[in-house]
A and B are shown apart, each in its own frame.
Chain A
Amino acid sequence: MSTSAIGRLGIGRLGIGRLGIGRLGGLFSRKQGAAIAAAEAAALRSDRFRLEREGDWRRLEHIVSRIEAGRIGALSDEDLVALPALYRMMVSSLSVARETTLDAATLGYLEGLAQRAWFVVHGPELGFRGWFLRFFGGGWSAAVRAMGPDILIALTVMIAGTVIGWLLVAGNPDWFYTLMPPQAGDTRLPGASRAVLHATLFGKTAQTGLSVFAAQLFSNNAGVSILCFALGFVFGVPPILLLVHNTGQLGALLWLYHGQGLTLDLIGWLSVHGTTELFAILLAGGAGIHIGRAMAFPGTRAILDAAAQAGRRAATVMTGVVLMLVVAALLEGFARQLIDATVPRLALGLAMLGWWLTYFFAYRGLVGKR
């Protein structure tokens, strides 16, 4: 191409520019006239392309910035309606620009804008309300059902842990001190009399500070269950160990109270909150094992995909676990102290168990109907 040809480029190709890719950008442009005047003065075809559309890009950028800042209310209806069209136009601008322009500023800007707009247009799906409804309307129970085998494993481990705890302590009472490191003021020790043990279960209705107790219980239990879930990452082994350790303590306690004929009273005392709390721990352990199993045996999926899929499901379950622990802490902090007899305690505990079982396994919710 000769020198003069380059000189002519500016004027000679103008006609094609008008017909070619067209004036899609002009549809929404307010300063159409000015932009086109500038475009016609530009020497390069790619610059004319840019000048004609710049107004729309900037408008899209403005809308995206507003949404990013969480001020969606500050946008006019006009802008919100225009957003999808502006987004698609910008996407096509980027595709065209990649094939026709070497202006790094335009390409960089468009790629950045495309990314931001994509995150806004395809952002976190539902918002809190939508998520909340879906979670309680079947999402939670569906996630629980989806990890059935893992929950069965966790249940087996928990029962085994209890039995092991019992057998260990029955064989040699010294194990009791290993399983439950003695704490100051704790009278629940091997050799304690029936009266002492009975006093730990009943007669605390007058106690104050129940709400503080409940809050502490919740904070601790939630921490432990999150740990149980998070360590599932290491192929599910740590959750199993944690479950065995915790239920081993349960077995040791059962043995201790059994020795004084207080088994049923202890179960009643535990069941008020225990059916909820142990269920929550069961689910947390199941969630941990679910992730560990998905990573150890991903099947035909890539290991990262398997882990991510299992992780998201487990996260749903874990949100529920934290909520269950709130309920458990309220039951443990208030109901257990206020109800001072075994039979009502057992009734409450079984009612809670029945409720959770129904909710998780019988309730199909909105997800099931679809």
Chain B
Amino acid sequence: MARWPWQKRKLGEPRGLPANRRRREILTAEGLRLPLTIASRGTRAAALMIDLVALIMGMTMTTMVLSWIARGVGIDDPHANATVKAVYETLVVIWIITMFLARNVWFLWFELGPRGATPGKRITGIRIAARPGRDGAATRLSAEAVIARNLLRDVELFMPVIFIAGALRAGSDTTLAGWASLVWFAIFALFPFFNRDALRCGDIIAGTWVVEAPRGRLDSALSLGDGAQGISTVTGAHYRFGDADLAIYGEYELQVLERVLRDDRPEVMAEVAATICGKIGWTNGTGDERAFLEAYYTQLRARLETGMRFGKRKADKFDGNASEN
């Protein structure tokens, strides 16, 4: 069953299961299958908000600085001479051009960079990428694609605002014009909800999509600790499991066990250790669960990896035939 964001994850429930629906695969020129995760719509909305706030702040700052300069050269003076007027004119031109560029170039500039992400996207950990062709072959992101996806932003983002503001200012038929344009542009704004890859119109035109940018951190291997040798540092006990003890679990359980060990929550580890002991008919004391689990993890992994090398894989505990075939 789906879990709401505010609900607590159940014990042992794999992390990020809903993300599986957003997993995609591309095939690189080296023949490597690369998994990608489509960015969620919520993340993208948050990234957009951050960008818009930064953009509006930047625009306000520019306006304030320019008007401060304008006052400085004495535009308030009614007897201003031609030079002052020329300076003022230049300032207005700079302002108009800056406003135009801010709206259009902010997204372009950052997305053309090596990260393929605006500051908002970087903060939320997503980036843009080229959609693969129908055969799944990865394609590289081109400048044209970035331009195309951002040209449509005007229609998707700024036009609804302009239309509704215009309708409000016109006064008379606010309701009709406002609602009509709202519906029309809501179709653009809500477009990502109507397709599997959360593409907005700009993505369709450009052949791009927005994916999660991976975080690079290499966790230490759990099979290298003291407990992994089968020797407990707390009690000095040796844990050795027989083939039958290890044969009950598969790769899925191994991964769950790995997550439990990484989370390192004593009550969860105790529960998992008790479950395993129950299955293999061991009776253990309490207090040494971590060493027990590390030993079990390492030996289970050794068994499963040996099987892998001979082409025998065991997906999970229900996958009974794999060891016989």
Contacts and interface: CB of A to CB of B under 8 A. Distances in A.
Contacts of B206: 308, 311-312, 315
A70 B112 CA distance: 12
A139 B113 CA distance: 21
Contact of A119 (B129, B207, B216, B305): B129
B34 A68 contact: no
Nearest to B250: A102
A120 B216 CA distance: 14
Interface stretch (A105-113, A157-165, A340-348): A105-113
B2 interface: no
Contact of A115 (B36, B144, B242): B36
A312 B207 contact: yes
Interface of B: 28-30, 32, 34-36, 85, 89-90, 92-93, 96-97, 99-100, 104, 112-116, 127, 129, 131, 133-134, 138, 140-148, 151-152, 154-155, 159, 201, 204-207, 213-224, 228-229, 240-243, 251, 254-255, 258-259, 262, 298-299, 301-306, 308-309
A70 B114 contact: yes
A345 to B, nearest CB: 24
Contacts of B262: 105
A29 interface: no
Contact of A308 (B90, B112, B113, B204): B204
The 8 nearest A-B residue pairs measured at CB? A308-B207, A112-B214, A311-B205, A315-B148, A105-B219, A312-B144, A230-B155, A215-B96
5 contacts: A105-B220, A126-B143, A218-B100, A219-B99, A230-B152
Chain B residues touching A, majority SS:
helix
B216 A113 contact: yes
A95 interface: yes
A43 interface: yes
Given A100-B309, A112-B214, A308-B207, 11 more contacts: A2-B243, A44-B305, A45-B305, A50-B221, A101-B305, A118-B28, A123-B114, A215-B96, A219-B100, A304-B131, A315-B148
A44 B223 contact: yes
A67 B115 CA distance: 9
A230 B201 CA distance: 9
Interface residues of A, number: 83
Contacts of B114: 67-68, 70, 119-120, 123-124
A178 to B, nearest CB: 16
Given A100-B305, A302-B134, A109 B216 contact: yes
A30 interface: no
B301 A227 contact: no
Interface string A69-96: 0100000000000000000100100110
Contacts of B299: 6
A230 B142 contact: no
Given A103-B301, A111-B214, A219-B96, A226 B154 contact: yes
A314 B134 CA distance: 22
Nearest to A113: B216
